[in-house]
C-alpha cells in the first residue's frame, strides 16, 4: 500500500515544474500517505511476532541500513505537513527534495536488502542462539544488490507514475505517462537482468537433511549446502510458479497499454499485479529460506526453524481474519471518498486547506 505514494514522492521534483503543479502532485497522496505508511510498522511487528529470530538477526545485523530507511522516512511527515505552510520558494523546494528522498531511498534499500539475501548475509549463531553479524554497511552495496535495488526502485516509481496518471490531467498526466514508459521499461530490463545474473553466477542454498515442520525451532539442526542454480529449484519442481515472473513482466506491459488508452484505474491494478509478481518471484525462489547465511550456511533461517510458537501464529491468524477485512473496507471507502482528479484549480481554490 505504501508503494505508489513513495513513487509519487520520487517523481515529485520532475513531474511538477512549478509550485502549483507540485502541490497537485502532493495532494494526490496527501490524504492517504500516513495510513499507507502504517504498513511499515505492521510489517516490523509481524516479523517480530512470527519470526523472532529473523527480526533479531536482521534488525541488529542490518542496523545501519534500517536507520537509513528511518532517516529518509523522517522527511515525509514534516514535508507533507509543513511544505506549503510558508510562502518561500527556497523553503518549498527544500521540502520537495526532502519528499523525494523519503520516497526514493526506502525502496532502494529494501531492494538492496533482497539482493543480499540471495547472496547470503554474514551472520552465525552460538550455542545459545545469540547471533553475530560480521558484515558492514558498505559491503551490502555490492553490484548484484544494487541491481536488485534498481528493480525495486523502478517498479515503485512506475507504480507511482501510473497512480499520478490516474489522479491528474493535462501536462502533469502527460509527464506521468512518460515516466511510466521509462520506469516500466527499466523495471522489465533490470528484473530480467537480475534473474539472468542469479541463474549464471550466484549459487543458491539447499537443505540436505530431513525437515520436520512440527519440531521445535532450531536453526542449527540442519545441513545446508550451496549449489549452482538452486534458487530456481522451486520453479523446476513446481512449474505453476512461473506465473509469478510472468505476472511481473505482463503486469508492467498491461499497465502501460491501459494507461496509454486512458484506462488508468485498470492500469493501476495491473501495476499492482506487477509488483506482486516481482516480489512473489523473489519469495518463491528463496523459499523455504527467509534469511540465508553466507558465513555459516547451516545457520540459515527458514520458515520452519525461525518461526514463533503455534499459539502466537494462531493469534496472528485470527487477528488477520478479523481485522484485515475491516482495514480493507475503510481504506477502500477513504480512497473512494477522496478520489477523483486533482487539478491546479482545486489547489488554488483550497490554498489554505490543501497540502
The distance from CA 59 to its chain's CA centroid, rounded to whole angstroms, is 17
Domain-located, residue 19: yes
Q: What is the radius of gyration, based on Cα positions, of the chain?
A: 22
The grid coordinates of residue 184 equal 516500466
Q: 127 is in which domain, residue-wise?
A: 3-131+146-200+313-349
155 to each of 9, 180, 253, how far by Cα in Å?
14, 10, 12
Residue from 138, 131, 114 nearest 55 by CA: 131
Query: What is the model's pLDDT at position 210?
Result: 83
pLDDT per position as a tens digit, 56-105: 898 888 888 889 999 999 999 999 999 988 989 999 999 999 999 999 99
Domain-located, residue 154: yes
Domain-located, residue 45: yes
Residue with cell 536453526: 219
Query: What is the model's pLDDT at position 1?
Result: 63
Count of CB atoms within 10 A of residue 259's CB? 26
Torsion angle, alpha carbons of 131, 137, 140, 146, to 10: 150
Residues of the chain with pLDDT under 50: none
Domain-located, residue 267: no
The domain total for the chain is 1
Query: What is the model's pLDDT at position 129?
Result: 84
The span from the CA of 311 to the CA of 16, in Å, is 50
Asked if 104 and 68 count as a contact pair (C-beta separation under 8 A), the reply is no
Residue with cell 499520478: 164
Domain-located, residue 212: no
Pairing status of strand 301-302 against strand 289-291: antiparallel
Domain-located, residue 232: no
pLDDT per position as a tens digit, 261-291: 999 999 999 999 999 999 999 999 999 999 9
Amino acid at each position: 500500500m505504501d508503494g505508489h505514494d513513495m513513487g509519487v514522492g520520487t517523481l515529485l521534483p520532475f513531474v511538477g515544474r512549478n509550485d502549483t503543479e507540485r502541490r497537485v502532485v502532493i495532494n494526490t497522496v496527501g490524504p492517504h500517505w500516513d495510513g499507507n505508511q502504517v504498513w511499515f510498522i505492521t510489517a516490523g511487528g509481524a516479523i517480530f511476532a512470527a519470526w523472532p529470530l529473523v527480526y533479531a538477526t536482521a534488525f541488529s545485523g542490518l542496523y545501519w541500513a534500517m536507520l537509513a530507511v528511518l532517516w529518509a522516512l523522517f522527511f515525509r511527515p514534516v514535508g507533507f505537513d509543513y511544505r506549503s505552510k510558508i510562502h518561500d520558494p527556497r523553503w518549498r523546494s527544500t521540502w520537495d527534495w526532502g519528499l523525494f528522498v523519503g520516497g526514493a531511498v526506502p525502496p532502494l534499500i529494501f531492494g538492496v536488502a533482497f539482493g543480499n539475501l540471495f547472496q547470503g548475509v554474514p551472520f552465525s549463531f552460538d550455542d545459545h542462539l545469540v547471533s553475530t553479524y560480521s558484515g558492514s554497511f558498505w559491503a551490502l552495496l555490492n553490484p548484484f544488490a544494487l541491481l536488485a535495488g534498481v528493480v525495486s526502485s523502478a517498479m515503485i516509481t512506475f507504480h507511482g507514475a501510473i497512480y499520478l496518471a490516474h489522479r491528474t490531467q493535462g501536462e502533469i498526466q502527460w509527464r506521468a505517462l512518460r515516466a511510466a514508459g521509462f520506469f516500466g521499461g527499466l523495471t522489465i530490463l533490470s528484473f530480467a537482468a537480475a534473474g539472468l545474473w542469479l541463474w549464471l553466477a550466484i549459487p543458491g542454498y539447499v537443505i540436505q537433511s530431513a525437515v520436520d515442520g512440527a519440531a521445535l525451532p532450531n536453526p542449527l539442526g540442519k545441513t545446508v549446502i550451496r549449489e549452482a542454480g538452486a534458487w530456481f529449484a522451486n520453479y523446476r519442481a513446481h512449474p505453476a510458479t512461473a506465473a509469478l515472473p510472468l505476472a511481473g513482466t505482463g503486469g508492467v506491459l498491461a499497465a502501460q497499454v491501459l494507461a496509454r488508452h486512458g484506462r488508468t484505474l485498470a492500469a493501476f491494478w495491473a501495476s499492482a499485479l506487477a509488483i506482486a509478481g516481482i516480489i512473489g518471484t523473489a519469495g518463491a525462489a528463496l523459499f523455504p529460506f527467509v534469511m540465508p547465511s553466507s558465513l555459516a550456511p547451516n545457520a540459515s533461517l527458514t520458515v520452519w526453524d525461525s518461526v514463533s510458537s503455534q499459539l502466537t501464529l494462531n493469534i496472528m491468524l485470527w487477528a488477520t481474519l478479523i481485522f484485515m477485512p475491516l482495514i480493507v473496507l475503510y481504506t477502500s471507502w477513504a480512497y473512494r471518498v477522496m478520489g477523483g482528479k486533482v487539478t491546479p484549480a482545486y489547489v488554488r481554490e483550497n490554498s489554505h486547506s490543501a497540502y
